């Protein structure tokens, strides 16, 4: 089996996805990547999952990978609609949803809304809980205020220092900064108790982007959830320890 690549129109945007379809699939899995990455970040798991007869789909979210950049300033609901319509267009009923970081935000909001076409969900170092750190909030506000002054090349080092306070992994997509500021301003904590799906929460113990207390709060508020912590892993436990990740993943499914 080989990974194939297609693009389709979803909500007037050209979105790219990769897929692997065995002859007799047991389960359907849809992977949502984090901000600043794309679907290929998951590809290290393919060799470990392809013998499980899973139907695998990897979606490039709008603005990333080979998908079209939105012409308007998306918010989280817009991304949720993209995933919702993608699932319906491809007929991926009873899909298992895997969301990393920003992809976890989307998974949380989609399933908290009562999406009946989703079976189990796996949240991997998921975002969605607003940090109490006021410095980050101030830095975000300042970034929005002084962005016009950061256009010249000589201002880039200062811009990078400021955006480091917000999250360094987002620097490569400065053109999406307006969308990013809208997305991170939404606190999803009140939605967590609404999730009725069986949920596996996977976290790296050394994650400094989405701290481990996020994981503990998600475990507390999502009723049918299990938390697995990868000691020594960072924000990408499926890359840091793909063997263990695949084992926990398969066991949960």
Residue 138, pLDDT score = 39
Query: Number of C-alpha atoms within 13 angstroms, CB side, residue 10?
Result: 27
4-38 residue pLDDT tens: 999 999 999 999 999 998 888 889 999 999 998 99
| Residues shown for the chain | 253
Q: Which CATH architecture has domain 4-130+187-252?
A: 3-Layer(aba) Sandwich (3.40)
Nearest-angstrom CA–CA distance, 171 and 148: 16
Contact 20, 3 (CB under 8 A): yes
Query: Number of C-alpha atoms within 13 angstroms, CB side, residue 73?
Result: 7
| CA 58 to mean position of chain CA atoms | 11
Nearest-angstrom CA–CA distance, 70 and 79: 10
Residue 27, pLDDT score = 92
169-206 residue pLDDT tens: 444 455 678 888 888 889 999 999 999 999 999 999 99
Among candidate residues 107, 120, 125, 119, the one with its CA nearest the CA of residue 241: 125
pLDDT score of 49 more than 80: yes
**Where in the chain are the domains?**
4-130+187-252, 134-177
3-state helix, strand, coil in the chain (%, to 5): 45, 20, 30
**Residue of higher predicted confidence among 165 and 58:** 58
Q: Dig out the tokens for 31 from the structure.
A: 């992977």
Nearest-angstrom CA–CA distance, 52 and 143: 46
The pTM is what? 0.84
| Helix or strand (DSSP H, E) at 202 | strand 199-204
For 135, which DSSP code?
H
Over residues 210-227, the mean pLDDT reads 96
Over residues 29-49, the mean pLDDT reads 94
Residue 150, pLDDT score = 45
126-166 residue pLDDT tens: 999 986 553 354 345 445 544 554 455 554 555 444 444 44
Residue 25, pLDDT score = 83
**Residue of higher predicted confidence among 2 and 88:** 88
Beta strands in 42-188 (DSSP E): 54-59, 95-100, 118-124
Q: What is the mean pLDDT of the chain?
A: 86
Residue 108, pLDDT score = 98
Contact 135, 163 (CB under 8 A): no
């Amino acid at each position: 089996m080989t990974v194939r690549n297609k693009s389709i129109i979803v909500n007037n945007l050209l979105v790219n996805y990769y897929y692997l379809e065995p002859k007799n699939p047991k389960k359907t899995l849809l992977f949502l990547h984090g901000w600043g990455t794309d679907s290929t970040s998951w590809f290290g798991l393919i060799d470990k999952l392809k013998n499980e007869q899973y139907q695998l789909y990897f979606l490039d979210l709008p603005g990333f990978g080979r998908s079209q950049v939105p012409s308007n300033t998306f918010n989280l609901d817009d991304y949720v609609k993209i995933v919702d319509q993608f699932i319906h267009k491809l007929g991926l009923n009873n899909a298992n949803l895997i969301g990393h970081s920003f992809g976890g935000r989307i998974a949380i909001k989609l399933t908290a809304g009562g999406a009946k076409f989703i079976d189990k969900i796996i949240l991997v170092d998921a975002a969605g809980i607003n940090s109490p750190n006021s410095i980050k909030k101030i830095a975000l506000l300042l970034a929005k205020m002084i962005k016009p002054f950061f256009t010249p090349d000589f201002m880039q080092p200062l811009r990078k220092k400021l955006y480091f306070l917000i999250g360094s992994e987002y620097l490569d997509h400065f053109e999406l900064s307006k969308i990013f500021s809208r997305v991170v301003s939404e606190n999803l904590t009140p939605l967590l108790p609404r999730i009725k799906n069986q949920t596996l929460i996977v976290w790296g113990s050394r994650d400094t982007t989405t701290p481990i207390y996020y994981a503990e709060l998600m475990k507390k508020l999502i009723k049918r959830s299990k938390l697995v912590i990868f000691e020594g892993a960072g924000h990408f436990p499926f890359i840091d320890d793909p063997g263990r990740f695949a084992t926990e993943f398969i066991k949960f499914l």
